[in-house]
Structure 1
C-alpha cells in the first residue's frame, strides 16, 4: 500500500502492526530515489544529478535499530550498489568521518551523533531529498523532539517526509503535520487480524511475586517448542541481575541495556541472532524494531509502562506470519498499571490469576514438562554461550561506554610510597607519647597539668631531661582518686606522689595541702 504513494514523491504517514515489513516500505522508495552511477549509465539521470553528499536520511531512536535498518538496506540495494552508512554514538568518529568523505547515498543515524557531525561540518545535509522518521511516535516524543527539530532545520525545505510506526497516537499525527505537506495516512491491517495486537501471538498474563519470578522464568524457558526467548525488564539493574541469575542456572543468556558499552551490546545481539545465546535479557532499548528470526517467546519480567510499550515488546515474536507466545508477569504493585493497559488495548486479562513456579495451570498453559526445575539440566546445555562471540573494538567514546569493553591484558600495579614518618610511641595506658596534654581525660586534665610541671622541675634538678609521659602517668591515678572521692584519707597518696615536688619548692604543693584540711573539716562536720 505504501510503495506507489512513496514512489510518487508524496509525504506518507505509515502505520502497521509489528512484523509487517515497514522497513522495506520506506526503504525501497529511498533506494529508487537516490541517484547512483548506474542511473547515469542507463540514461535515467544526468552527471549533474550525481553527488557525494547524502541524498536520503533515516532517523531512528536506538543504536540497535540503526544497525539493523542499515543492514536491510545494504542487502536490498546491493544490485544498484547503493552506499548506506550507519551513524550512531558509542563508537569512534574516525571511521564514520572517513566514510562521509568517500561519499554516501543514504544515512541511517541516531539524533545525537547526527547533530555532532553536522555541528563539526563533517556532515552535509543540504542535498537530502527524503527524510524518514522510523518509530515516529518515539522520535516525536518530548525527549527526542528538540533534536529532531534541529535536524529538520538543516534539511532543504523542499523534500519528501515519511513517518512510520506501529503505534501512532493522534497527538503525534497532528504534531507531524507541521513538518509535512499534505501527507497521506496509510493504516495497513489484515481483514482477519482484529484488535491492536497481532492475532498470531498467544498472550498469557499471570500475577507473580517478585521473589518467585526468577524461578518462574527459568521454568518457562524450558517449555516445549521454545526457540529464542526475549526477556524484557524496566530497569538496567534488573536486566543485568536477571541475566546473571539465568547464566548461573545454566542458560545461555546475554544482556542488552544502557549501562553496557556498545561493543558488549552488539556482541549480545549478534550472539542472539547467531543462536549462540538463546535468552536475551534487555530493557526497552530492544523493544522497537528489532527483528530476529526464530523468537518464539517474549517474557515481560516487569509490567511495561504503557500500552504502546506492551505492543512493541510482544511484537518481537509472531513476525512475518509466524506464531509466538507472550507471557507477562505482573507484580501486586503493578496491578493498577496493568489494568490501564488492559483497558486501553481491550484485552481480556483484567484480573490475572495468582501464579507461582509450582502452579499446575502454569505448566498446562505453556506446555512445560512435568517435573521441570529451575536449573537447566546439563544434557540440555548445548548453546555455545555469550563468550563464544567476540567483542568488536569500536573505539568507544566516553567513560560509561567502556564498562562493557574487554579488559586490558596487563594490569599496572602502582607501588605504595614508603613510610617516612617514625612510628608513634605508646605508653602502657594506650595514650600516644607525643600527644598534647589537652588530650588527657577531662576529670584529670587540670591535675595532670600541675603534675607535669612538678615532674619537669624534679627531672631538671637531677640533671636529666624532661620525661613527661612516665611521670605524668604515675601521678594520674592518685590525683584522680583524691579529686573524685574528696575524703580525708585520700590526701595521703597525693602527698606521697608529690614528695619530690615539696623538696623542689614547687607551688602546687601548697594547693595539695590546703585541700586535705578542707576535706577533713567537711567530713567532720558531716
Structure 2
C-alpha cells in the first residue's frame, strides 16, 4: 500500500502492526530516490547529479534499531551499490567522519550523534531529498522532539517526508502537520485481524509474586517447542539481575540495557542472532523494531508502562506470519496499571489468575512438561553462551570496561583481550621515614652528636633535644595517672628548688562548679 504513494514522491504517514514490513515500506522508495553511478551508466541520470553528500536521511530512536535498518537497506541496495552509513553514539567519531568524507548516499542515525556531527560541519544535510522518521512516537516519548526539529531545520525545504510507526499519538500527527505537505495517511491491517495485537500471537497473563518470578521464568523457558526467547524488564538493574540468575540456572542468557557499553550490547545481540544465546533479557531499548528469526516466546517479566510498550514488546514474536507466545507476569502492585492496558487494547484479561511456579494451570497453558524444575538439565545445555561471541572494539567514549556504559568498570578493554595490552606493573614508591619532621638518619645523627660530645668532656649544659611525642586519649589518661602518683615524690625537690631561689611556675588549673563551690565555703 505504501510503495506506489512513496515512489511517486508524496509525503506518507505509515501505520501498521509490528512485524508487517515497515522497514522496506520506506526503504525501497529511499533507495530509488538517491542517484548512484549505476544510474549514470544506464542513462537515467546526469553526471552532475552525483554527490558525495547524503541524499536520504533516516532518523531512529535507538542504536539497535539503527543497526537493523542499516543492514536491511544494505541488503536491499546491494544491486545498485548504494552506500548506507549508520551514525549513532557509543562509537568512536573517527570512523564515522572518515566514511562521511569518502561519500555516502543514505544515512541512518540517532538524533544526538546526527546533531553533533552536523554542528561540527562533518555532516552535510543540504542535499537530502527524502527524510524518514521511524518509530516517531518513541522519539517523542524519549524526549527527542527538540532534536528532531533541529535536524528538520537543517534540511532543504523541498523534500519528501515520511513517518512510520505502529502507533500514532496526537503529538505525531501535529508534528506531521507542521513539517509535511499534504501527507497521505496509510493504515494497513489484515482483513481478519480486528484487534490491536497480531492475531497469531497467543497471549497469557498471570498474577505472580515477585519472589517467585525467576522460578516461573526458568520453567516457562523449558516449554515444549520453545525457540529463542526475549524477556523484557522495566529497569536496567532487574534486567542484569535476571540475566545473571538464568545463567546460574544453566541457560545461555545475555543482557541488553542502557548500563552496558555499546560493544557489550552489540555482542549480546549478535550472539542472540547467531544462536549462541537463546535467551535475551533486555529493557525497552530492544522493544522497537528488533527483528530476529525464530523468536517463539516473549515474557514480560514486569508490567509495561502503557499499551504502546506492550504492543511493541510482544511484537518481537509472531513476525512475518509466524506464530508466537507472549506471557505477562503481573505483580499485585501492578494490577491497576495492567487493567488500564487491558482496557485500552480490549483484551480479555481484566483480572489475571493467581499463579505460582507449581500451579498446574501454568504447565497446562504453556505446554511445560511435568516434573520440570527451575534448573536446566545438563543434557540440554547445548548453546555456546555469551562468552563465545567476541566483543568488538568500537572505540567507545566514556568508561572503558568489559561492561562499559555508566558505572561499568571492567578490567579488559572492550573488544580487546587482556593479553593485547599488557598492564603496567605498579612500582613500589620509596618512603622516607622521618622523626620530628627530619629524615630518620639525620635525626639519629643529631641525637648521637651530644652523646659523643659528652663522652669527650663536653660541658654539662649540653642537653639532648627532646623527642616530640603524640598524646592520645588513653595516653593522656595514663599520663594524668602518672602525674598524680609522682606528685608526693616531686614535692621535696620543688621545695628544695624554691629554697635555692628558683621559684617553680604554678600550674594553671581549671575551676569547675564543684571547685568554685568548695572555694566559696573555705
With the length of structure 2 as denominator, give the TM-score of the two structures: 0.84
Q: Tell me, in whole angstroms, the C-alpha distance in 1 between the residues paired with 2:320 and 2:29.
A: 21
CA offset at residue 402 of structure 1? 6.7
Q: Which residue of 2 aligns with 1:298?
A: 298
CA offset at residue 240 of structure 1? 1.1
Deviations 1:325-379 (CA, angstroms, capped at 9, x unpaired): 1111111221221121111111111111121111111111111111111111110
Q: Which residue of 2 aligns with 1:202?
A: 202
Q: Tell me, in whole angstroms, the C-alpha distance in 1 between the residues paired with 2:493 and 2:185.
A: 109
Alignment of 1:266 with 2:266, yes or no, is: yes
Q: For 1:134-153, what aligned pairs fall within 5 Å after superposition?
A: 134-141=134-141, 143-153=143-153
Q: For 1:43-62, what aligned pairs fall within 5 Å after superposition?
A: 43-62=43-62
Structure 1 contact 14–185 (Cα < 8 Å) conserved: yes
Q: Tell me, in whole angstroms, the C-alpha distance in 1 between the residues paired with 2:148 and 2:477.
A: 78
Q: For 1:48-87, what aligned pairs fall within 5 Å after superposition?
A: 48-87=48-87
Which protein is richer in helix relative to its size? 1
Deviations 1:454-495 (CA, angstroms, capped at 9, x unpaired): xxxxxx9998876998999887326669xxxxxxxxxxx843
Q: Which residue of 2 aligns with 1:124?
A: 124
Structure 1 contact 273–292 (Cα < 8 Å) conserved: yes
Q: Secondary structure at the match of 2:354?
A: coil
Q: Which residue of 2 aligns with 1:115?
A: 115
CA offset at residue 380 of structure 1? 0.3
Relative to 1, partners in 2 of residues 1:21 and 1:495: Cα closer, same or farther, differing over 3 Å? same
Q: Secondary structure at the match of 2:349?
A: coil
Q: Which has the larger radius of gyration?
A: 1
Q: Which residue of 1 aligns with 2:429?
A: 417
Q: Which residue of 2 aligns with 1:495?
A: 488
CA offset at residue 234 of structure 1? 1.0
Q: Which residue of 1 aligns with 2:39?
A: 39
Relative to 1, partners in 2 of residues 1:466 and 1:23: Cα closer, same or farther, differing over 3 Å? closer
Q: Secondary structure at the match of 1:403?
A: coil
Q: Which residue of 1 aligns with 2:441?
A: none
Q: Which residue of 2 aligns with 1:279?
A: 279
Query: Which sections of structure 2, spanning at least 5 residues, go unmatched?
Result: 405-413, 437-459, 509-514
Alignment of 1:170 with 2:176, yes or no, is: no
Deviations 1:487-521 (CA, angstroms, capped at 9, x unpaired): xxxxxx84345443333338679999xxxxxx9xx
Aligned positions, number: 470
Q: For 1:212-223, what aligned pairs fall within 5 Å after superposition?
A: 212-223=212-223
Q: Secondary structure at the match of 2:85?
A: strand
Aligned Cα RMSD in Å? Answer: 2.8
Relative to 1, partners in 2 of residues 1:289 and 1:501: Cα closer, same or farther, differing over 3 Å? same
Q: For 1:472-483, what aligned pairs fall within 5 Å after superposition?
A: 476-477=480-481
With the length of structure 1 as denominator, give the TM-score of the two structures: 0.83
Q: For 1:343-362, what aligned pairs fall within 5 Å after superposition?
A: 343-362=343-362
CA offset at residue 403 of structure 1? 3.5
Q: Secondary structure at the match of 2:496?
A: helix
Relative to 1, partners in 2 of residues 1:175 and 1:480: Cα closer, same or farther, differing over 3 Å? farther
CA offset at residue 382 of structure 1? 0.1
